[in-house]
Amino acid sequence: MLKKILILNGPNLNMLGRRENDIYGIDTLDDIKLMCEQEAKNNGQTIVFRQTNIEGELVSWIQEALGEFDAIIINPAAYTHSSIAIHDAIKAVELPLIEVHLSNIYKREEFRQKSYISTVALGVICGLGKTGYKLALNALAEHDK
Ligand code: DQA
């Protein structure tokens, strides 16, 4: 069981609740954080939940997770489709990582259908809204290293 989980959120996810509600729903990132804290508690996991609009900050947080966390859940938001730096950081730390998206990126614009993260992820969950974060925590709770 992977106990200490780092949950990272990329750019514009701080705008959830007022951002394209038809696509992303009405929950705020704080609502999602609360749901994750509850689910982690039920699973006997501890989480740290963070958001940034800055690519390099995500890279640093992934690097710093080494030795501090057992696994990472990340919604890289728009950096999913552009960031070789985040791809490389994930590869470097070799921690199990689940990529989460609220929306189904494969049903949307063509530029969203390419992920630089999926090839270095343990698994990918998309299109299930905030439930995706919950499922990722549960998957890590059942995952053997
Ligand atoms: C997203 C999908 C991305 O394409 C987009 O840039 C986001 C959010 C999602 O959760 O559905 O900001 O990662």
Within-domain flag for 103: no
Q: In whole angstroms, give the CA distance from residue 93 to residue 58.
A: 13
User: Residue 13 has what pLDDT?
Assistant: 98
Q: What is the pLDDT along the chain (145 residues), one digit of tens a residue?
A: 679 999 999 999 999 999 899 899 899 999 999 999 999 999 999 999 999 999 999 999 999 999 999 999 999 999 999 999 999 999 999 999 999 999 999 999 999 999 999 999 999 999 999 999 999 999 999 997 6
- With a CB cutoff of 8 Å and minimum separation 6, the contacts of 130 are 25, 27, 31, 32, 35, 102
Residue bearing the CA closest to ligand 1, atom 7: 77
Q: Is residue 58 part of a domain?
A: yes
Closest ligand 1 atom to the C-alpha of 10? 12
Domain presence at residue 105: no
Write down the pLDDT at residue 107. Answer: 96
Catalytic pick from 79, 87, 101, 116?
101
* Confidence at residue 145, expressed as pLDDT on a 0 to 100 scale: 61
CB contact at 8 A, 143 and 122: yes
Q: What distance in Å separates the CA atoms of residue 54 and residue 74, rounded to the nearest whole number?
A: 14
User: Has 87 been annotated as catalytic?
Assistant: no
List the 46-51 sheet strands across, edge first: 46-51, 4-9, 71-75, 97-101, 123-126
Asked if residue 62 is part of any domain, the answer here is yes
Atom of ligand 1 minimally distant from the CA of 100: 10
- Is residue 114 a part of any domain in this protein? no
What's the confidence (pLDDT) of residue 2? Answer: 78
The Å distance, Cα 121 to ligand 1 centre, comes to 16
- What span, in angstroms and rounded, lies between the C-alpha atoms of 121 and 119? 6
- Print the domain residue range for 70: 1-5+7-26+41-74
Do the bridges between strand 71-75 and strand 97-101 make them parallel or antiparallel, or are there none, so unpaired?
parallel
C-alpha 104 – ligand 1 centre gap (Å): 9
Question: Is residue 136, in this structure, part of any structural domain at all?
Answer: no
Domain count, the chain: 1
CATH number at residue 61: 3.40.50.9100
Instruction: Report the pLDDT value the prediction gives residue 1, as an integer from 0 to 100.
Output: 67
Q: Give the chain's largest Cα–Cα span.
A: 39
CB 68 within 8 A of CB 75: no
Among 16, 103, 108, the mutation site with the greatest number of ligand 1 atoms within 8 A of its Cβ is 103
Q: Is 24 an active-site residue?
A: yes
